[in-house]
Amino acid sequence: MSDVKKNFKKVIVQKEARPITGWYEKMRVKATPVEQRQKYMQQALDSMGTRIMAYINSPIEARVLELICKQGTKEQRQIILDQLKPELGKLLFNKYSRFPASELLNCQHDEKAAKLIEEVVLPIAHKLITNATANISLNSIFSNGTAQVQAMIVNQLITKCASPDIDFTLKKIKELPQTAAIYAKTVVKQLVMCESKMMLGSIACISVLLQTFKIYFALENVEIKAEIMHELEFLQSIEAEQYLQLIDTKEGVQIACYLYAMFQAKQKKQILNAMKSKFKEMIEDPAAKILLLFAPFFTDDTVLIKEVVFNFFEKNMDKLFADNQLILVFLLSLNQLQRLNEEGTCAGCSDDQLMQLLNNSVKLSTCKKPIEKRQSELRAIAVEALKEYLTADKIKAILLSKSSGSDILAELVNVIDTDILIKALKENGATEPVLLDNVGHFNAKKIIKKLNAEQKLGLKEFCESLGSTKRAEFVKEWVK
């Protein structure tokens, strides 16, 4: 086609695109009734006619088509699919066409999308994961997919067999352990080919890595495990900025913990220093805060941990106590680790996964100190910081709050000044004594049960003045 004809065609498309742009502005307004929006969508489709492919790589038109796929009628969605299906896989690689293409493969909006994913996505999954733009498309498809669809994508990338069975890979290596090293090589080959290491933070890459680590932990053969670790050595070259891309999701944090345990001291120092500016965000995030717990366990440099992590903890003690933070609970007592195996919850957190994560990380650890010794050191640092922090007023506030703070206090009974602790227990709440308060009563029980006979003497006389209510009688029984 000559340049004149190409330019003429471009002008025609631009002229026809003007009303489409106007309809887009109207159809994207949420206040517009659904029926009216779908009328605008139909007008846009009528304007494009059978030439949707001519518009698919234009920024506005691609967004229009995406919106129709998302909020239009089934018939409108089908019109788009019929024209795009022959090139659907290729469209996932373009920065504009990927929007409508990914939406057509969204299982949340169309139950038939799973079959389409099987036909279009799985055969090119290995190409999608390595291309920067297509990786974003794959993440969208993966995130919106059913558990079976996600399993198919992960299994396809690892074993080249798109099984919907979540445990397919683990079953295969149990049958033939030697395949584990082959699977690890397949994964590494794809991840190394990613256009950017920042892409390792994508959910598709994270899911594949997570499955690879599951393979490693499931194996008993030491030689095969060593082969897998050798394959995963490329992860040692990840820089701090790339590493922190992992902590946005629960799955990503698992990988972050495993990698941190594997890293050498120099790399851990770089990561901790990079994390400093993100601590406040991390402490608010239910997933990312787990890394703040694990980092001290798997860092031999006590001075570094004290300067970086505990310095932050000391400045944010109120936050840690008020928001059900599990971090200090773990640091305070060795028996907390055993307790995780015995109880269903620990300070309101799902302990089975945390314990598994901790145990797995120990298997990967490059630290010289055993974890029991490390935790003992961390406890000593934490206790000193908390002894300074826990005044009578602070203890009273913790007793009256619905948080894990009372668990921490119970662990500190023997190191907190007894006079300060007893004074806090005798304080009044908003309308009644702390010991009779709805929340304070149950939190105080954890503390009193840990007091020795001599410490309880300071409470006995006061408890007699509480009256004879059922709750008061309970308190008197506790201090006997």
* pLDDT at residue 396, rounded to an integer: 92
Mean pLDDT of 234-262: 89
Express as a percent the part of the chain with pLDDT over 70.
89
Q: Phi and psi for 350 in degrees, rounded to 5?
A: -75, 105
* pLDDT at residue 352, rounded to an integer: 64
* pLDDT at residue 335, rounded to an integer: 52
Evaluate if residue 95 carries a pLDDT over 70: yes
* pLDDT at residue 1, rounded to an integer: 47
Evaluate if residue 72 carries a pLDDT over 50: yes
| pLDDT confidence bin for 118, thresholds 50/70/90 | very high
Query: What ranges do the domains of the chain cover?
Result: 1-104, 125-133+144-237, 239-389, 390-480
What secondary structure, in 3-state letters, does the chain show? CCHHHHHHHHHHHHHHHHHHHHHHHHHCCCCCCHHHHHHHHHHHHHHHCCCHHHHCCCHHHHHHHHHHHHHCCHHHHHHHHHHHHHHHHHHCCCCCCHHHHHHHCCCCCCCCHHHHHHHHCHHHHHHHCCCHHHHHHHHHHHHCCCHHHHHHHHHHHHHCCCCCCCCHHHHHHHHCCCHHHHHHHHHHHHHHCCCCHHHHHCHHHHHHHHHHHHHHHHCCCHHHHHHHHHHHHHHHHCCHHHHHHHHHCHHHHHHHHHHHHHCCHHHHHHHHHHHHHHHHHHHHCCCCHHHHHHHHHCCCCHHHHHHHHHHHHHHCHHHHHHCCCCHHHHHHCCHHHHHHHHCCEECCEEHHHHHHHHHHHHHHCCCCCCHHHHHHHHHHHHHHHHHHHCCHHHHHHHHCCCCCHHHHHHHCCCCCCHHHHHHHHHCECCCCEHHHCHHHHHHHHHHHCCCCHHHHHHHHHHHHCCCCCHHHHHHHHHCC
* pLDDT at residue 330, rounded to an integer: 58
pTM for the whole structure: 0.80
Q: What is the pLDDT of residues 13-58, one digit of tens each?
A: 444 445 677 777 788 888 888 889 889 899 989 989 999 999 999 8
Q: What is the pLDDT of residues 38-48, one digit of tens each?
A: 898 999 899 89
Evaluate if residue 10 carries a pLDDT over 70: no
Position with higher pLDDT, 370 vs 66: 66
| pLDDT confidence bin for 349, thresholds 50/70/90 | very low
Nearest to 294 by CA among 378, 380, 202: 378
| pLDDT confidence bin for 413, thresholds 50/70/90 | confident
Evaluate if residue 181 carries a pLDDT over 80: yes
* pLDDT at residue 2, rounded to an integer: 46
Cβ distance 93 to 129 under 8 Å?
Answer: no
Q: What is the pLDDT of residues 278-318, one digit of tens each?
A: 888 887 787 787 888 788 889 998 888 888 888 888 787 77
